[in-house]
Chains A and B, each alone.
Chain A
């Protein structure tokens, strides 16, 4: 029985586990290098790289991706998105209020990272709960 699966979804599900791992190791390595060398790096890009690594890990089919796992991943990603939206909005409101200074606001890179971390945690909980 053949199903019409979207190519992008298929590309993610077929596993880019090692690519995700490489992104995370690269981000951690760059972060360590930055701390050791005391360089003036753009931290947001490291967070972005870490987020991308987590994204690839999240959608990789490791250790196995069957239909229940895919359903739970979708559900946990939705939980992560909603949670991060609410937490991000409150954080940004508190940090930018009342002077409107945007320096303390969380960036989209942080948003992605937190969203995926919450999704990972939710997925672990849901896997045992459901």
Chain B
């Protein structure tokens, strides 16, 4: 799953640690989500999107491989 968290962070001049604190997760979790190593839950995805004042589907995008993965 692709995401634009890094782009939105840069746009809002926000560090990983600051975002992590706002959504109450560890900085490593934000890093893992940005790198695509961890797919967040629906609640966390909504929280992150609301921090950036955008919709979830603007922040996250499904890839072809997501349809094959279980």
> Which A positions have Cβ atoms within 8 angstroms of B?
1, 3, 64, 66-69, 71, 127, 130
Contacts and interface: CB of A to CB of B under 8 A. Distances in A.
A68 B28 contact: yes
Contacts of A130: 32, 37-38
Given A130-B32, A130-B37, A130-B38, A66 B25 contact: yes
- By CB atoms of chain B within 10 A, which of A1, A67, A68, A69 has the most? A68
Interface of B: 24-26, 28-29, 32, 37-38, 40-44, 46
A11 to B, nearest CB: 20
B41 A67 contact: yes
Contacts of A66: 24-26, 29
A5 to B, nearest CB: 12
Contacts of B25: 64, 66-68
